[in-house]
Amino acid sequence: MSEPATSLAEAREADAERRQGIVDVDVHPVPSSVDEIRERMPMPFRDRYQGERRSFFNNPVHGSRLDAVPPDGGPKGSDPEFMRRQLIDEYGVAYAILVSRTFCNIHPDPDYAAAIATAFNEWLVEVWLTEHNHDGAFKGSITIAQQDPARAVEEIERWAGHEHIVQVTMDSGARMPFGQRYYYPIYEACERHGLPLSVHPGTEGMGINHQPTPGYPTHYIEWHCAMSLAFQAHLISILTEGVFERYPGLRLVLVEGGVAWLAPLLWRLDSYWKALRSEVPWLRKPPSEYVADHVRLGTQPLERPDDDAQLLQLMEMMDAKRVLMFSSDYPHWDFDSPARAFPRLDDDVREAIFSTNARELYQLNQ
Amino acid sequence: MSEPATSLAEAREADAERRQGIVDVDVHPVPSSVDEIRERMPMPFRDRYQGERRSFFNNPVHGSRLDAVPPDGGPKGSDPEFMRRQLIDEYGVAYAILVSRTFCNIHPDPDYAAAIATAFNEWLVEVWLTEHNHDGAFKGSITIAQQDPARAVEEIERWAGHEHIVQVTMDSGARMPFGQRYYYPIYEACERHGLPLSVHPGTEGMGINHQPTPGYPTHYIEWHCAMSLAFQAHLISILTEGVFERYPGLRLVLVEGGVAWLAPLLWRLDSYWKALRSEVPWLRKPPSEYVADHVRLGTQPLERPDDDAQLLQLMEMMDAKRVLMFSSDYPHWDFDSPARAFPRLDDDVREAIFSTNARELYQLNQ
């Protein structure tokens, strides 16, 4: 799985630490330069690619932690060894699940989008999962461009057997809700390879994708806050369309969309299902039960009220011990510290959220 | 205010009952026929109007309570005396706040839309607020078409002085979020006349309006569940754009969008405000505090979990005693009964939600 340790004793020690450490399910490696991606793209896309994002909405303060600049320079999040020091060593992280931010799903051209995804995947595997992964702490996500599901399946097939690839990822910015049949080849491939599908926000309203609001939002704070609404819309769609009846082995991971909305949304959806189930006869149980069996949520950005007791109550309502997995979003501006994001949790709840749930889902060292 | 009672004793008795009774802030009167509206429209709109809704999404079972058919026939909700028996007498409702479902805001033609709104307003005032309002139990909402804010202001001016008009109403289906400056003439007029603005869902994705999801939803259950997402998007927009700083006298009423999402959303928004307030310097306090001062929510459809204690906890989190007002949505299919919608509440909370909050907001017999 990783390069051999220098002695059996060292290997056992490393293994014991990994069993106890945190799993962080949303960590962002960043290319040292656009060229790192561009050089892995075929023509004519190599000439075209500028790392473009095309959003009106950028963080007005700073997009990443100011202290995340690597000591030898380069973009924040671009130095694997510095990330190891600042995240993995600092907080006792056993595994960091790496998710590339490619912005590939904003483009009208599906070939260009797929070329971006492929180049990022090659870069991630070569640089982060091989060259700089001596301890096996970095686990990777296959980025797919949803514009061409058949091509996305090919990308999944290409990487699915890699020892450090643990999931597929795509952005939540979309032209249609994720429960629709357009996406089913992707879900089928994820199920077939036992790879969870992680959905990440950030391309809402960019390029070809719909806004998360009814029409254009005005400010970054509005756009960013509304990302969780797009997540809820996709989840409603996936649940009502019966995706988990069709693909019972599919596991869905929602990262960076917040978590506090989960219980209220499921109360609403369950109550509608009771009244309107004749419309969706393929559902054999209340929507909330599919969530418990098939959906996990990354905790960041955790909605933290003034009163810790209220957060703990809400966590009980959403069955947090079962559905949450800790994520930090390192190195981004709204990083959640493993040490401070949560109030004091019961040991079993903390262990589930910070370690066990992710280890089970991703079949990591358990 | 209402026609004189036949004796002073009777008048006092009626007054005492109204002081104690429930206020229901979302009740739907329905025309006996399309002609009731059409005959109040000028040409060429009179020829054009068919009561059209143009939605792909209709309740697959039934849109209104099956038992709401008036004994003498006609559409459900069209007989004021039967509504009095089935809602007002049955549950001890002192005041029913009537909201017409006009669907006027789906049309590209602003003159046609305004003609529909005006005809409904004339019909409501003539039939429900005058002819059939001997006891003053019916209070009305001025419907406006948001396609032409200047024309909407004229409509508000026309009716604002009417003794039984207590608010303005518009649909949440929209082409842009409600915090944007396009809508400000409407807010200015509401503030100037001391009329709360009630926002009602149901035209999302119809005609010119955006869907409540990223792209078209598939089923009614999905579309209907996602309505509450559109409400949240509008509220984020109104709060971040500083509408309540610009119009400090404005009061906003969100009906039929659910309520359980409120606290989680405000936790999220408050935390973003702490980090990003430099982008919205006009906000002088956390967004949640504007909600407490300016926003009220109709309770229906109340999200009811299996565990009553969880609902009570969530109500505490949202400061339900302050922000909620009971609504039944009579005669629609998902009617919430005043007797059964809530678990057992403390007396002061119940009184606030079922009566006091609405009486204060609408300046009703207190």
Residue B174 lies in a domain: yes
Other beta carbons less than 10 A from residue A235's beta carbon = 28
- Does pLDDT of A298 surpass 50? yes
Nearest to A213 by CA among B211, B295, B277: B211
If one counts every other C-beta atom within 10 angstroms of the C-beta of residue B256, the result is 27
Strands B295-298 and B252-254: parallel
- Does A323 fall in a domain? yes
pLDDT in tens, A101-140: 999 999 999 999 999 999 999 999 999 999 999 999 999 9
Q: Where are the alpha helices (DSSP H) in chain B?
A: 8-20, 34-38, 45-48, 80-83, 90-91, 110-123, 149-159, 184-193, 220-240, 243-246, 262-276, 287-294, 308-317, 320-323, 347-351, 357-362
Closest residue to A221, CB basis, from B60, B260, B272? B272
The reply to whether ipTM tops 0.90 is: yes
Contacts of A218 in chain B (CB under 8 A): 177, 179-180, 237, 240-241
- Are B136 and B148 in contact by the 8 Å Cβ rule? The answer is no
Is the pLDDT confidence value at A2 over 50? no
Residue reference for tokens 């980025």: A143
DSSP B346: -
Distance from C-alpha of A264 to C-alpha of B330, rounded to nearest angstrom: 23
Shortest CA gap A248–chain B (Å): 21
Q: Does the beta-carbon distance from B218 to A240 stay under 8 Å?
A: yes
- What residues make up the domain containing A75? 23-362
pLDDT tens per residue, range A254-295:
999 999 999 999 999 999 999 999 999 999 999 999 999 999
**Taking CA atoms, what residue in A is nearest to B210?**
A214
> In sequence order, what are the residues at sequence separation of 6 or more whose Cβ sits closer than 8 angstroms to the Cβ of residue B11?
B4, B5
Calpha distance A285→B299 (Å, rounded) = 26
Q: Is residue A16 part of a domain?
A: no
Whether B173 and A214 lie within 8 Å, measured CB to CB = yes
Residue A11 lies in a domain: no
Structure tokens at B164: 């039984």
Residues of chain B positioned with their CB less than 8 A from the CB of A283:
none
Which run of H or of E encompasses A5?
none
Cβ pair B221:A272 closer than 8 A? yes
Residue-wise burial string across A275-309, b where 16 or more C-beta atoms lie within 10 A, e elsewhere: bbbebbeebeebbbebbeebbbbbbbbbbbbeeee
CATH of the domain at A207: 3.20.20.140
Segment holding A301, helix H or strand E: none
pLDDT in tens, B81-108: 999 999 999 999 999 999 999 999 999 9
CA angle A234, A235, A241 (to 5 degrees): 90
pLDDT given for residue A16 in this prediction: 76
The enclosing H or E element of B329 equals none
Residue B10 covered by a domain: no
Give the integer Cα–Cα distance in Å for A148 and A170.
12
Q: For residue B288, count other CB atoms closer than 10 A to its CB.
A: 21
Number of A–B residue contacts, CB under 8 Å? 219
Q: How does DSSP classify residue A311? A: H
Nearest residue in B to A61, CA atom: B276
Cβ-defined contact of A269 to B225 (cutoff 8 Å): yes
Tokens encoding B36:
């009731």
pLDDT tens readout for residues A232-252:
999 999 999 999 999 999 999
Look at B268 and A222 and tell me if their CB atoms are within 8 Å: no
Between the two ends of chain B, the Cα-to-Cα distance in Å is 14
Which residue of A237, A270, A299, A312 to mutate against B (max B Cβ within 10 Å)? A237
Residue A6 pLDDT: 61
Q: pLDDT tens for residues A302-318?
A: 999 999 999 999 999 99
Domain-located, residue A15: no
Signed CA dihedral, B202, B208, B214, B215: sign only: positive
Q: How far is A264 from chain B (nearest CA, A)?
A: 5
State how many domains chain A has.
Answer: 1
In a domain, A98, yes or no: yes
Q: What are phi and psi of A219, to 5 degrees?
A: -120, 165
In the structure encoding, which two tokens stand for residue A119, read together?
A: 């180049």
Element (H, E) at A91: helix A90-91
Distance CA A230, CA A251 (A): 19
Query: Which residues in chain B are closer than 8 Å to A265, comparing Cβ atoms?
Result: 225, 261
User: What gap in Å lies between CA A99 and CA A165, rounded to an integer?
Assistant: 11
- Residue ranges of chain B with pLDDT lower than 50? 1-5
How many angstroms away from the CA of B65 is the closest CA of chain A?
Answer: 12
Residue B3 lies in a domain: no
Q: How far apart are CA A56 and CA B216, in angstroms?
A: 24
Q: Where are the alpha helices (DSSP H) in B50-163?
A: 80-83, 90-91, 110-123, 149-159
Quote the pLDDT of residue B2: 44
Q: Please judge whether B261 and A264 are an interchain contact, meaning their C-beta atoms are less than 8 angstroms apart.
A: yes
Of residues B272, B303, B333, nearest to A264 (C-beta): B303
Full-model pTM: 0.95
